[in-house]
């Protein structure tokens, strides 16, 4: 057992015995509570460090920037100084409260590209190929309007935005005019191209994981949730996890698990709890006075993220969302939403987007666009002086890797986090492409009626040096950390492909920290899928493999960067495809040990 000093936990309150203890009520933890709780004979405890998610600002889709910037709903993390960004610290919002980050995120619903999951399997996550995960996306979805590969009976409600603003369609048309494919729905057959985006919104309100999964689970009566429970560590009897030590309002407590402890605290905090529990790099644990139960060097390493920047344009017609940003405009939106759950308050305003490849030789998209008919920062803190529009653009498979390290052994201390953003040369190549390819799209005829001057980066920013200087100042996290408890079949992997932690028993990780590679899109949908599938694997079952699970790509991907037809199905050539995907992934930077 760990030799952590337990002065505050010397006489813990006994909170009882449960079949499963789930640490964290974020996206994955809510799924696990719901699915495991389908067995009425099981008792399940969920321990969440935050509080209630009940808030108009959480519920109202258009108000997403407010909970993201409040201490009640956000842990308020920042990275360590990032060497690739001239030592700049980057904001790292992490959800705090029921629903976790699903209660403060942008509600963008993107499954990712089917080839993401072929890459997972090629990297050693056996069983995670597209045909195996597709049934779980279908199980969790309740998609308005359905679709050939979509679910319509699941707990997570998904819809398209109304797209009443003409700028949304102008963006999609401009992408097509630039030579890219159109996609009628990036979550159905074809991910690559330009088209409408979806959001997890139902009846005008955010459909968080707490709303979709946790509340129905609690209503059954066999799932208990402790809010404000700050977990110190997992307890072990030898190498078997037996329970959890935590505190509530400073008062020590413990709970015991007869079957498993499941860490669903997210890509930042799950590895931290593992380390405090004695599972992690032996050297780091020894420095903090923690006895090593299992030396696992990769715990907290392999940290990945998506970065993005905004390219902003002046809009010459008064059609943008700029008038909604005044006090009077916001009041009108709020009153309409409170009365009807409709109008501009009922959408996240990311209603069109796209996925493209940065250069020839890339098998499937590594750049994502979120279009917004307004020129404003993602956190809502900086607004342009007049009508404008922008695209959030970023790369999806950065080769840079970072880490999560203990600041000290106290559970109340936030960890040290460094992504090592932009420390691989390919990152610079790909982000320069983001800038230049976006400018090309904005220059298409579809934007001629609306296009004014470029607000950011600005017309003077043209050569590589000027673009790089802009990137160093303006690149921000898209808030998609993952990979710190990588699952795989190799001995170095922290977890097995079913989430079990190597070297110990009755301890599992279920959240985005398992991902061996980031997906080509926002991480919310893949995280829910991952938890859905693992909830079945825990119960010794699996949905049948999907039939007709195509793997579509540009037939000329090896020689061209764009094309109007994404028609080649590689599902019958999986070995050849896996080799190409691994070749694209070559050169990912190993985590930096120093620091």
Catalytic residues: 480
32, 531 Cβ separation under 8 angstroms: yes
Query: Residue by residue, what is the 3-state secondary structure of 265-300?
Result: CHHHHHHHHHHHCCEECHHHHHHCCCCCCEECCCCC
Task: Report CA-CA distances (Å) from 140 to 242, 301, 350.
Answer: 31, 30, 22
132, 545 Cβ separation under 8 angstroms: yes
Alpha carbon distance, N-terminus to C-terminus of the chain: 28
Question: DSSP labels for 568-581?
Answer: EE-TT-HHHHHHHH
- What pairing do the DSSP bridges indicate for beta strands 108-109 and 198-199? antiparallel
- Which token pair is 15? 């909170």
DSSP type of residue 435: H
**H or E stretch at 77:** strand 77-78
The alpha carbon of residue 101 and the mean position of all alpha carbons in its chain are separated, in whole angstroms, by 9
The alpha carbon of residue 522 and the mean position of all alpha carbons in its chain are separated, in whole angstroms, by 5
DSSP type of residue 342: -
Give me the residue label for tokens 């005044």. Answer: 326
Which of 274, 291, 227 lies closest to 508 in space, CA to CA? 274
- Which token pair is 446? 């579809």
**H or E stretch at 240:** strand 240-248
Omega before residue 437 within 30° of 0, cis = no
- Sign (positive/negative) of CA torsion 480, 481, 487, 491? positive
- Which token pair is 272? 């931290």
CA 75/CA 26 separation, integer angstroms: 13
């Amino acid at each position: 057992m760990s030799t952590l000093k337990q002065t505050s936990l010397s006489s813990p309150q006994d909170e009882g015995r449960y079949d499963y203890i789930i640490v964290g009520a974020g996206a994955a933890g809510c799924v696990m509570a719901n699915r495991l709780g389908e067995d009425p004979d099981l008792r399940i405890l969920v321990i969440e460090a935050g509080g209630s998610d009940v808030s108009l600002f959480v519920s109202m889709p258009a108000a997403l920037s407010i909970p993201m910037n409040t201490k009640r709903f956000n842990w308020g993390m920042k990275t360590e100084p990032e060497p690739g960004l001239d030592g700049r610290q980057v904001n790292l919002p992490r959800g705090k409260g029921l629903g976790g980050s699903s209660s403060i995120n942008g509600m963008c619903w993107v499954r990712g590209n089917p080839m993401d999951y072929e890459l997972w399997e090629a990297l050693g996550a056996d069983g995670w190929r597209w045909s195996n995960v597709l049934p779980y996306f279908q199980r969790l979805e309740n998609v308005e309007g359905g679709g050939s590969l979509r679910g319509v009976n699941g707990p997570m409600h998904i819809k398209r935005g109304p797209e009443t603003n003409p700028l949304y369609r102008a963006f999609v048309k401009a992408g097509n005019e630039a030579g890219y494919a159109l996609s009628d729905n990036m979550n159905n057959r074809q991910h690559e191209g330009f088209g409408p985006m979806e959001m997890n919104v139902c009846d005008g309100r955010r459909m968080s994981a707490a709303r979709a999964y946790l509340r129905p689970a609690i209503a059954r009566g066999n799932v208990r949730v402790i809010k404000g429970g700050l977990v110190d560590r997992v307890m072990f009897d030898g190498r078997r996890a037996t329970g959890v030590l935590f505190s509530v309002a400073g008062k020590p407590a413990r709970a015991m698990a007869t079957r498993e402890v499941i860490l669903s605290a997210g890509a930042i905090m799950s590895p931290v709890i593992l380390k405090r529990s004695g599972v992690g790099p032996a050297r780091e644990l020894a420095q903090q006075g923690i006895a090593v139960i299992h030396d696992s060097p990769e715990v907290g390493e392999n940290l990945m993220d998506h970065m993005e920047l905004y390219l902003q344009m002046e809009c010459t017609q008064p059609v943008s969302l700029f008038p909604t940003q005044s006090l009077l405009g916001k009041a009108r939106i709020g009153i309409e939403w409170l009365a009807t759950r409709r109008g501009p308050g009922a959408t996240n305003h990311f209603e069109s987007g796209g996925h493209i490849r940065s250069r020839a030789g890339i098998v499937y998209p590594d750049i994502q666009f979120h279009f917004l008919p307004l020129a404003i920062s993602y956190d809502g803190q900086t607004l342009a002086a007049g009508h404008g529009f922008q695209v959030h653009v970023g790369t999806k498979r950065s080769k840079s890797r970072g880490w999560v390290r203990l600041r000290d052994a106290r559970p109340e201390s936030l960890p040290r986090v460094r992504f090592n953003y932009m420390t691989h040369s390919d990152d610079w190549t790909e982000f320069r492409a983001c800038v230049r390819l976006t400018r090309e799209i904005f220059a298409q005829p579809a934007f001629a009626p609306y296009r004014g001057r470029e607000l950011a980066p600005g017309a003077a920013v043209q050569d590589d040096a000027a673009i790089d200087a802009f990137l160093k100042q303006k690149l921000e996290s898209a808030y998609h950390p993952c990979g710190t408890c990588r699952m795989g079949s190799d001995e170095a992997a922290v977890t097995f492909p079913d989430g079990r932690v190597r070297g110990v028993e009755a301890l599992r990780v279920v959240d985005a920290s398992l991902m061996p590679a980031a997906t080509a899109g926002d991480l919310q949908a893949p995280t829910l899928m991952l938890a859905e599938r693992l909830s079945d694997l825990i119960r010794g079952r699996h949905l049948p493999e999907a039939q007709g699970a195509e793997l579509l790509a540009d037939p000329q991907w090896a020689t061209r960067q764009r094309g109007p037809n994404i028609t080649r199905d590689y599902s019958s050539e999986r070995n050849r495809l896996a080799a190409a995907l691994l070749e694209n992934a070559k050169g990912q930077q190993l985590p930096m040990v120093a620091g």
